[in-house]
Chains A and B, each alone.
Chain A
Amino acid sequence: MNKSTDIMTENTMLEVRNIKRDYELPGGLFKPKKIIHAVKGVSFKLERGKTLAIVGESGCGKSTLARMLTFIDEPTGGDLLIDGNKMDTRPGHLTAEMRQKVQIVFQNPYGSLNPRQKIGDVLGEPLAINTSMTAEERRHRANEMLIKVGLGPEHYNRYPHMFSGGQRQRIAIARALMMNPKLLVLDEPVSALDLSVQAQVLNLLADLQDEFGLTYVFISHDLSVVRYIADEVMVMYFGEAVEYGTRDEVFSDPKHEYTRTLFKATPKADVESIRARVAKKKAAAAA
């Protein structure tokens, strides 16, 4: 953020310059219009093959940012550069080629898959829309991708309700990867999953990143997950990036008050802190 240069280096996958998003709440007869500044000018740069984690509480604008990165929402200000090209985010100006570079995986794997669509069709649909592949080729690609995410060809003809939460999230990831994107935005991809399943999905994401050289923007509110997966960390608070740096910088020396509050609030599961707590409670009970 500090050393921002105007020349994109070869290695930069994503650059965001002072991006903003305002939402307008319509007024009524006696109520004036109100403008909500959901994202108030955020800038960052992300290198190819790296992971940026965005942390913050609900309502801090992290999902709005994700929606802008994936062109679901149009920014009201600022620039978005992907793979060295400035994106024209006005409606109707986006080409299919631009859209293919960025894909998104949503939080809730139960809501993000169409219950009436077979898994094979879920995976084949982006190919059918964007490419001229034959049905046979699409089927082949879908089966390949199912194996890549740890499922199998036998799942091709099944419906989403036949899968567990972790499996559905694998399908959502597979769908996002069908168009060979370069940038994957993951909006709380593991927060709806059990601990053991969470570990499997995080490992899968790490494997896929190595294999395809993917760049991740990983949105999460769980600091232990962020510490494990991120190269760079950005903390958002009321629409602003209050902290931005490499993982080690942020975790070892948090600058902003809110980041420190966040770290303090995270439950500690190491033996030392438990011992301290138990001792404290005993002392309080004795007194």
Chain B
Amino acid sequence: MLSYQFDWSVVTTGKYFEWLVSGLGLTLQLSAAGIVLSFLLGLLIAVLRMSHFSPLRWFAHVYLEFFRNTPLLVQIFFWYFGSYKLLPMAVNEWLNSTNFEFAAALIALTIYTSAFIAEDIRSGVLSIPKEQMEAARSAGFSYIRSMQYIILPQAVRITVPPLINQFLNLAKNSSLAMTIGVMELTYQARQVESYTFKGFEAFTAATLVYLVLSVVITALMDQYNNRVLNPQRG
């Protein structure tokens, strides 16, 4: 009774394997789209946060504190269920006819992660001596152009290692999308468990896949960091 019969064929062949693969597909889509969007949004928020125009600065500040300090799960529920009360009915009906589960999960992941990324980028920018900005401005660059050509390219190089952490978190946090019915990897692992009672195999397989995904993201970012951004450090 106590001994557990392992049956790895459950997760390596047949329809349960297909479920896990389709789950992985959604996890990859969520992660890839989330990484790109949250990086762009985080960059924007970081720039706003350092703006000399105080309303923009304050907006960015509130945004950061709000989205950094509330649980991601609550944010997912907010975008999925809470948005219903705020939007006009016509918009709701249109959203419900689409794949709104995926969109709500992606919005939540993007916004949540962008707050952390913005702070990482800001700390990178602050580590660039302020004389560089002064030099750029006195050479005739506008604030935006100084940021674009002088400050950000250096700051992003410094920021890459902490960014890797945020991207890894995003990939793993994407599993929370299962709570609103997005059939990503963790959801499918749970499905396999409830159909086959082979929970150990299903979750081991999912764990390995997340591990491989994380290692791949780290390796890609390291490559980019060493080869492209900092070839001299190699």
Q: Do A and B bind each other?
A: no
Interface set of A (CB-CB < 8 Å, partner B): none
Interface set of B (CB-CB < 8 Å, partner A): none
